[in-house]
Amino acid sequence: MLKIVVCVSGGGTNLQAIIDGIADGTITNTEIVGVISNNKNAYALERAKKAGISAVCISPKDYETREIFNDALLNGVLSLKPDLIVLAGFLVNIPPQMIQAFRNRIINIHPSLIPSFCGVGCYGLKVHEKALARGVKVSGATVHFVDEGTDTGPIIMQKAVEVMQGDTPEVLQRRIMEQAEWVILPKTIDLLANGKILVEDNAVYIK
């Protein structure tokens, strides 16, 4: 059984897709052992509670320095003894010691086709604003392993989504969530839980 911790900051629709995927059998061999939010008002915390999953808030605001927060976050994760950490809209820089402790065991969902519209400062609605400003006809989502860079880790899965004329950032964001994020994040977790993903020299192979 793959034990996962899901880290969230906001609405938690990706968390919900994981909860639903486990319930309906799209995701097998997987248990969510905890949800961690950096934001006490995140609706994702409610979703976790409704599903009977233990959920905590670990916020940088409650710690004197970033280092102390980083330790608290790592300890919070370690106390849950996960096999995999899933960043599902988690707007916190992952501390280097956590990346080292969980090399190729942290995945992130990004709402564009990496390497487009990603990197430092490119998150949330900004991703879709940039895609629309550039006039791309196709965008999408990417699930990747987390390394020391921002959105630079090995790519596991991507799904393209059409950009329509007249799209606003909000409309495009929603379409990418529905058609890509809520599909490829659960699928990736299922593949990982069933030993079907191999990482070699930064390249990912699906067996």
Catalytic center residues: 110
Closer residue to ligand GRF (CB): 102 or 117: 117
Binding flag, residue 104, ligand GRF (CB under 6 A):
no
Beta carbon of residue 95, minimum distance to ligand GRF (angstroms, whole number): 18
Binding flag, residue 139, ligand GRF (CB under 6 A):
no
Closer residue to ligand GRF (CB): 45 or 99: 45
Of 19, 85, 109, 143, the one binding ligand GRF by CB under 6 A: 109
DSSP strand pairing (155-162 vs 138-145): antiparallel
Beta partners for 204?
199
Question: What is the per-residue binding string for ligand GRF in 148-177, x denoting contact by CB under 6 A?
Answer: -----------------------------x
Provide CB contacts within 8 A for 140, sequence distance 6+.
Answer: 112, 113, 158, 159, 160, 161, 176, 180
How far apart CA 38 and CA 40 sit, in angstroms, is 7
Of 111, 140, 153, 186, the one binding ligand GRF by CB under 6 A: 111
Contacting ligand GRF within 178-197 (CB under 6 A)? 181
Closer residue to ligand GRF (CB): 50 or 81: 50
Provide CB contacts within 8 A for 114, sequence distance 6+.
Answer: 142, 144, 151, 155, 158
Beta carbon of residue 129, minimum distance to ligand GRF (angstroms, whole number): 13
Q: Are 55 and 34 in contact (CB under 8 A)?
A: yes
Residue that the structure tokens 């860079």 belong to: 149
Beta carbon of residue 64, minimum distance to ligand GRF (angstroms, whole number): 28
Closer residue to ligand GRF (CB): 30 or 139: 139
Binding flag, residue 11, ligand GRF (CB under 6 A):
yes
Interface residues with ligand GRF (CB under 6 A) are: 8, 10-14, 44, 88-89, 109-111, 177, 181
